[in-house]
Structure 1
Protein backbone atom coordinates (compact mmCIF):
# COMPACT_ATOMS: atom_id res chain seq x y z
CA UNK A 1 0.00 0.00 0.00
CA UNK A 2 1.29 3.43 -0.84
CA UNK A 3 0.98 6.42 1.54
CA UNK A 4 -2.13 7.71 -0.23
CA UNK A 5 -4.00 4.49 0.46
CA UNK A 6 -2.92 4.53 4.11
CA UNK A 7 -4.14 8.11 4.52
CA UNK A 8 -7.52 7.28 2.99
CA UNK A 9 -7.83 4.18 5.20
CA UNK A 10 -7.02 6.25 8.30
CA UNK A 11 -9.59 8.90 7.37
CA UNK A 12 -12.21 6.23 6.73
CA UNK A 13 -11.45 4.62 10.10
CA UNK A 14 -11.80 7.99 11.86
CA UNK A 15 -15.12 8.55 10.13
CA UNK A 16 -16.37 5.16 11.31
CA UNK A 17 -15.13 5.64 14.87
CA UNK A 18 -16.12 9.25 15.55
CA UNK A 19 -18.86 9.86 13.01
CA UNK A 20 -19.36 12.87 10.77
CA UNK A 21 -20.52 15.16 13.59
CA UNK A 22 -17.35 14.81 15.70
CA UNK A 23 -14.78 15.16 12.88
CA UNK A 24 -14.79 19.00 12.83
CA UNK A 25 -14.21 19.06 16.59
CA UNK A 26 -11.41 16.51 16.26
CA UNK A 27 -9.77 18.51 13.46
CA UNK A 28 -10.01 21.71 15.48
CA UNK A 29 -8.45 20.05 18.52
CA UNK A 30 -5.57 18.67 16.43
CA UNK A 31 -5.00 22.07 14.84
CA UNK A 32 -4.88 23.82 18.22
CA UNK A 33 -2.47 21.20 19.51
CA UNK A 34 -0.11 21.66 16.57
CA UNK A 35 -0.25 25.46 17.00
CA UNK A 36 0.55 25.21 20.71
CA UNK A 37 3.47 22.88 20.06
CA UNK A 38 4.90 25.22 17.42
CA UNK A 39 4.48 28.24 19.72
CA UNK A 40 6.17 26.34 22.54
CA UNK A 41 9.08 25.39 20.31
CA UNK A 42 9.48 29.01 19.19
CA UNK A 43 9.47 30.23 22.80
CA UNK A 44 12.03 27.60 23.80
CA UNK A 45 14.26 28.64 20.90
CA UNK A 46 14.03 32.31 21.88
CA UNK A 47 14.83 31.48 25.51
CA UNK A 48 17.91 29.53 24.41
CA UNK A 49 19.07 32.42 22.22
CA UNK A 50 18.57 34.93 25.05
CA UNK A 51 20.49 32.79 27.55
CA UNK A 52 23.37 32.44 25.08
CA UNK A 53 23.42 36.23 24.55
CA UNK A 54 23.41 36.86 28.31
CA UNK A 55 26.34 34.49 28.90
CA UNK A 56 28.41 36.43 26.35
CA UNK A 57 27.90 39.61 28.36
CA UNK A 58 29.19 38.04 31.59
CA UNK A 59 32.52 36.91 30.18
CA UNK A 60 35.40 39.45 30.35
Structure 2
Protein backbone atom coordinates (compact mmCIF):
# COMPACT_ATOMS: atom_id res chain seq x y z
CA UNK A 1 0.00 0.00 0.00
CA UNK A 2 1.39 3.38 -0.98
CA UNK A 3 1.58 6.39 1.32
CA UNK A 4 -1.05 8.13 -0.80
CA UNK A 5 -3.50 5.25 -0.38
CA UNK A 6 -2.85 5.06 3.34
CA UNK A 7 -3.45 8.81 3.70
CA UNK A 8 -6.74 8.56 1.80
CA UNK A 9 -7.89 5.69 4.02
CA UNK A 10 -7.04 7.67 7.14
CA UNK A 11 -8.88 10.75 5.84
CA UNK A 12 -11.94 8.64 5.01
CA UNK A 13 -11.93 7.14 8.52
CA UNK A 14 -11.59 10.57 10.13
CA UNK A 15 -14.52 11.89 8.09
CA UNK A 16 -16.62 8.85 9.08
CA UNK A 17 -15.87 9.60 12.74
CA UNK A 18 -16.81 13.27 12.31
CA UNK A 19 -20.07 12.34 10.57
CA UNK A 20 -20.97 9.89 13.34
CA UNK A 21 -20.16 12.51 15.96
CA UNK A 22 -22.33 15.11 14.26
CA UNK A 23 -25.22 12.65 13.94
CA UNK A 24 -25.06 12.02 17.71
CA UNK A 25 -25.69 15.71 18.40
CA UNK A 26 -29.11 16.62 19.67
CA UNK A 27 -29.65 18.82 16.61
CA UNK A 28 -27.19 17.81 13.86
CA UNK A 29 -26.02 20.60 11.57
CA UNK A 30 -27.36 19.54 8.18
CA UNK A 31 -25.00 21.81 6.23
CA UNK A 32 -21.97 20.47 8.08
CA UNK A 33 -23.16 16.91 7.44
CA UNK A 34 -23.65 17.64 3.76
CA UNK A 35 -20.13 19.11 3.47
CA UNK A 36 -18.56 16.18 5.34
CA UNK A 37 -20.42 13.59 3.26
CA UNK A 38 -19.46 15.24 -0.02
CA UNK A 39 -15.82 15.36 1.07
CA UNK A 40 -15.95 11.72 2.15
CA UNK A 41 -17.39 10.75 -1.26
CA UNK A 42 -14.60 12.66 -3.06
CA UNK A 43 -12.00 10.83 -0.95
CA UNK A 44 -13.70 7.48 -1.66
CA UNK A 45 -13.72 8.18 -5.41
CA UNK A 46 -10.03 9.06 -5.40
CA UNK A 47 -9.24 5.96 -3.36
CA UNK A 48 -11.07 3.71 -5.82
CA UNK A 49 -9.41 5.42 -8.77
CA UNK A 50 -5.96 4.89 -7.27
CA UNK A 51 -6.74 1.23 -6.55
CA UNK A 52 -7.86 0.62 -10.15
CA UNK A 53 -4.61 2.13 -11.42
CA UNK A 54 -2.53 -0.46 -9.57
CA UNK A 55 -4.54 -3.57 -10.41
CA UNK A 56 -2.98 -5.86 -13.01
CA UNK A 57 -4.87 -6.28 -16.27
- TM-score, normalization by structure 1: 0.47
Please tell me whether Structure 1 or Structure 2 has the larger radius of gyration of its CA atoms.
1
More helix by share: 1
Looking at both structures, which has the greater relative contact order when contacts are Cα pairs under 8 Å and sequence separation is at least 6? 2
